[in-house]
Structure 1
């Protein structure tokens, strides 16, 4: 067996062990309940042990396993504190790190995808990666573009190199995760894991295509050139499984602010994140759809004051029909804030969120959705883990009237990536604990939301 199939088989075996581990913990939990331990305490123990195995496994893998883990890591804020606290370190580690590939492999990839003469342009390359993600890793280098600069001026660049066989590993892992979703679901009550994996599978081909990523990043870099708050590095070169971009000199990512930031930093960078999220589609016709903290870099201002926000990784973007976020999205949010339940249901039907043959109680629909649009009802809203946790517990409470409504609503295909980005963005803001002028930003940048 060659090295690549051997590693793939090992990943599959470890992922397949997740539901077996969960089944064993359920049996262990049943024994403890029979022994007199309270059901709530047993459930917490089972969730903690399941999460520890899950994120330890995902944190050591690449491909789809790590991609899935990065998406879940943004939703950590929705977990009960007594469950999330013991393994928060496993979650946040997924946002900034992955095992590196050998230097020889990196050079082979550069030769294959940039050409045998790559050393004439990439005159220096750091042997150790500066960052690693689910399908590739980044090295710092120095680039000379002889075609445009006769003087041979050097500039610092980031060289993103895809792991050999990343496409095969990505799809294999996602298929396996889909099969073992039952063993993952207990960690995230209230989150439907299968549609999340299906959406990741649908977008995998785009994320593997560095030419598409280069096109998206170039569009964003041009749109935000000269912006006082947002920095997007320009594209220098692209070839197959290698992408070269301008270097961004940043000491750390938003993951650092989540762990150690002051409240001033949390509020400042949280506001810049929201502004980028909604201003990006307005300027480019695309939505940056991978809002985990590792993709957002901190560029401190003078004397260490909060500064600009750098944005990386444009592999996952939604190319929006009509070049903008749906105007219906803003209108429906405004209608929900105005408590117009009949118009809300009519608008949801028109957009395909409620299918024609499904009957719903308009008052219940408003009750179900109102908390999700609550941030837009305040001049400044403070996102907290407690607030996000309340929303997930509310929709997952079988005693609540709105519990069964979730099964009667439909998520149209055109909103899949928007929904994932919205959920991930809210999760990131809740991890930050940021206070932001959410409503004002929506009025400026979300079509359909502003009052005429």
Structure 2
């Protein structure tokens, strides 16, 4: 309790300072670049300075600032290369690191949640955290039965800190707009804020993780650590080895990149179909590539952190697969009718079905190919097309609506595509869609697209 109020004031002050430097130095310059003007209009020194200010502040803070940074990091591939360069290293750090909680604080939480004799549950416990996240940190330990485990301990006061950070970020959300072209930052922050109570409850997280661990037990492609012990603020799970996805992105071989990309696509669509849950925090810090001495086809995807999930008891909605299939088949009228029926086109909005199809075609290109080479350049082209106010795609996009029931699905899909582009992976996406996305395989019109 002693220094929490002082820390809260410091956190608020740091966040409040963001608009002062960032608005003046970066918003105008980055906006010019993303609008298609010459790159030399903004000096590289300004890029580096802006990156240093923005991401250093986000990285130093726990709670909402770091969670926002993690959510933003998967869209780094959408930035023009000359802008993305200074940001990439700072973004990667946000995915896996944060200032550690003192050992005495960790011990206090463990004593409160596991009992005064908490040490008897472990034969070994490392005080130095192995990883840190937005609301807690992970310690490596050995459970009393000899299993290596990960002990996730929630920061004291994490809920208040998370809410305070996100409220503050919401007030300056417009300043972040130029970072991610075509993306409205405010709904992202609002969604993160709305899910605070769920993410703070480790017992809910344990339930979601156990469901996945049970379903994927023995799966040749995906591995989810089983839950060993749980309370509302301490979660003990089996330890998982593997290469962090951020390392695969920064230095992995092409075989590693392609395998990781294929597995990510598989888990995105197979997960909801098999468990009724959508893993809703797909940034690289939550994935590992389990590489062994065998061929790449035998490597598995390790999945962590089930604190945020979307509950989809029937899997992904049927209209997504149906609309995608119809769009690949070129049936503009049917696609338009389905989008209107699902609320993507409001009753008062009049749109040309052919224009809607033209808007969608470049975005859905990966679903129509036998295999698709995801790349930063492709994602940058999509982002620039939608962000440029002079583009017909920009004008049409402004008239589309995102129904609340599709908000999380949209963000998770877009985030996963962002990671695939960071990986520069060649992926057989259509294979996964046919197998797991309801409505997509009917008729297989994609064959003739």
TM-score where L is the length of structure 1:
0.92
Pairwise CA distance, 1:29: 6.5
Q: Name the counterpart of 1:281.
A: 272
Q: Distance in 2 between matches of 1:27 and 1:338?
A: 41
Residues 1:210 and 2:209 are matched in the alignment? no
SS of the aligned residue for 1:440 comes to: helix
Q: Name the counterpart of 1:388.
A: 379
Pairwise CA distance, 1:186: 2.2
Q: Deviations over 1:293-314 (max 9, x none)?
A: 1111122111796722111000
Q: Name the counterpart of 1:110.
A: 110
Q: Distance in 1 between matches of 2:56 and 2:435?
A: 42
Residues 1:257 and 2:248 are matched in the alignment? yes
In the superposition, relative to structure 1, how do residues 291 and 117 fare at CA in structure 2: closer, same or farther (>3 Å)? same
Q: Name the counterpart of 1:369.
A: 360
Q: Distance in 1 between matches of 2:147 and 2:222?
A: 21
Pairwise CA distance, 1:434: 0.3
Q: Name the counterpart of 1:131.
A: 131
Alignment of 1:293-442 (within 5 A): 293-302=284-293, 307-320=299-312, 322-442=313-433
Q: Distance in 1 between matches of 2:49 and 2:365?
A: 34
SS of the aligned residue for 1:137 comes to: strand
Q: Distance in 1 between matches of 2:27 and 2:267?
A: 47
Q: Distance in 1 between matches of 2:284 and 2:394?
A: 31
Q: Name the counterpart of 1:171.
A: 163
Structure 2 gaps of 5+ residues are 31-36, 444-449
Pairwise CA distance, 1:24: 2.8
Q: Name the counterpart of 2:149.
A: 157
Alignment of 1:42-191 (within 5 A): 42-43=41-42, 49-144=49-144, 153-191=145-183
Residues 1:231 and 2:230 are matched in the alignment? no
Structure 1 stretch displaced more, 49-58 or 191-200:
49-58
Aligned residues: 435
Q: Name the counterpart of 2:446.
A: none
Contact 1:381 1:435 in 2 (8 A): yes
Pairwise CA distance, 1:43: 4.4
Pairwise CA distance, 1:12: 1.2
Residues 1:9 and 2:9 are matched in the alignment? yes
Q: Name the counterpart of 1:196.
A: 188
* Root-mean-square deviation over aligned CA pairs: 1.9
Q: Deviations over 1:313-351 (max 9, x none)?
A: 00011111x431101010011111112111111000111
Pairwise CA distance, 1:28: 9.5
SS of the aligned residue for 1:447 comes to: coil
Q: Name the counterpart of 1:272.
A: 263
Q: Deviations over 1:260-296 (max 9, x none)?
A: 0111110011101111111111110000111111111
Residues 1:240 and 2:232 are matched in the alignment? yes
Contact 1:289 1:417 in 2 (8 A): yes
Contact 1:77 1:430 in 2 (8 A): yes
Q: Distance in 2 between matches of 1:179 and 1:310?
A: 36
Structure 1 stretch displaced more, 116-125 or 87-96:
116-125
Structure 1 gaps of 5+ residues are 31-37, 145-152
Structure 1 stretch displaced more, 84-93 or 38-47:
38-47
Q: Deviations over 1:103-131 (max 9, x none)?
A: 11111111111122222212321111111
Q: Distance in 2 between matches of 1:26 and 1:444?
A: 44
Q: Deviations over 1:421-446 (max 9, x none)?
A: 00100000000000011001100001
Q: Distance in 2 between matches of 1:303 and 1:283?
A: 27
